[in-house]
Amino acid sequence: MKMALKLAAVLGVAIVAGGFVLDRAAQATAEPEKQPAEDKVLHAYGDTLILKKEPVGGMFSHKSHVIEYEFSCDTCHPDLFERKRGAAKASGDYNHPSMEEGMYCGACHDGDTAFDTVEEGNCISCHGSDMVEPETIVFVKPVKAVIFNHTEHTEMGFDCASCHDELFEMRVGAAEEKPEEFTMAALYDGKYCGACHNGDDAFASDTLCTTCHIGVQGFERIHGGEGKAAAEEH
């Protein structure tokens, strides 16, 4: 009797499991039919986003050109763009005048085939669509670390041109690329922050050091956890 029960139980499990496997197999065979063909193509090309930082930040979506407009590789390569990362930038003439002459993007972006590169309303299509205004910037060179509250300054009513590009290039990390120039001595000469932080327009750069200098401990707090940093920084 006991044996019979055991047998029945084992059989039962086997039947259920078998049914499940069969079901899965049926689903697997059905799946490729359900999958849209476009997705497959999209996957094959990858969702490449090319973020250009030189000479100014701009974004080119490889995906939208290849998938949405169905260009083949030879539409652009190698005649307009060498098939090598950074090649256009290295050529030295990858700029708006060239585009207006019909080179690079300008081959299509001439106002007829695609939106032109001149009209003001078009700028944001390539520049700015992904350029997010930073809330705070933490400089780590030449000393670690200095905090700059970007939001606080823009909320004071400054526009972009107040600081960019004369005092600071509008590019993350630009000032830090020249740590030997981005010094307190430069600030005292009226460069960088020193243009306003001179004692007349804003507190002088040679006072209240720790207002901006958050130090290594402050830096580690910010990178150790956002919540903790936010609690400390006001």
Partner 1 sequence: MNVDELEKMENEGVERLPSLERRTFLRAGLAVTGLFMGGTVLSLTSAEKVLGAIGGQETVAKYPYSPHYSMVMRQNLCVDCQLCMEACVRTNHVPSYGYRTTILERYRKTGPSSQERIFTPVLCNQCNRPPCVRVCPTVATYKDKTTGIIMMDEKKCIGCKTCMAACPYNARYFNEETRAVDKCNFCYDTRLSKGLKDTACVEACPAGVRVFGDLSDPASEVYSLVHKPGTVVWVLRPETGALPNVFYMNA
Among the residue ranges 46-54, 78-86, 209-217, 222-230, the one whose residues contact partner 1 (CB under 8 A): 209-217
Closer residue to partner 1, CB minimum distance, 128 or 142: 142
Q: Which residue has the tokens 């390569």?
A: 77
- Does residue 230 belong to the site contacting partner 1 (CB under 8 A)? no
Among the residue ranges 11-19, 48-56, 79-87, 202-210, the one whose residues contact partner 1 (CB under 8 A): 202-210
- Does residue 217 belong to the site contacting partner 1 (CB under 8 A)? yes
Closer residue to partner 1, CB minimum distance, 27 or 217: 217
146 closest CA partner among 197, 106, 70? 197
Which DSSP state fits 64? Answer: I
84, amino acid identity: K
- Does residue 62 belong to the site contacting partner 1 (CB under 8 A)? no
Q: Which residue has the tokens 């407009």?
A: 69
- Does residue 218 belong to the site contacting partner 1 (CB under 8 A)? yes
For the bound state, the minimum distance from the C-beta of residue 214 to partner 1, rounded and expressed in Å, comes to 7
Retrieve residue 40's tokens. Answer: 């497959």
- Does residue 191 belong to the site contacting partner 1 (CB under 8 A)? no
- With CB under 8 A as the contact rule, the residue among 96, 127, 144, 171 that binds partner 1 is 144
Among the residue ranges 4-12, 72-80, 124-132, 136-144, the one whose residues contact partner 1 (CB under 8 A): 136-144
CA distances from 152 to 39, 57, 104, 147, 224 (A): 44, 23, 39, 12, 23
- Bridge partners of residue 147, in order along the sequence: 138
- With CB under 8 A as the contact rule, the residue among 143, 170, 174, 186 that binds partner 1 is 143
Beta strands 136-139 and 58-61 are unpaired
CA–chain centroid gap for 170, Å, is 14
Could you list the residues that contact partner 1 (CB under 8 A)?
142-144, 208-211, 213-218
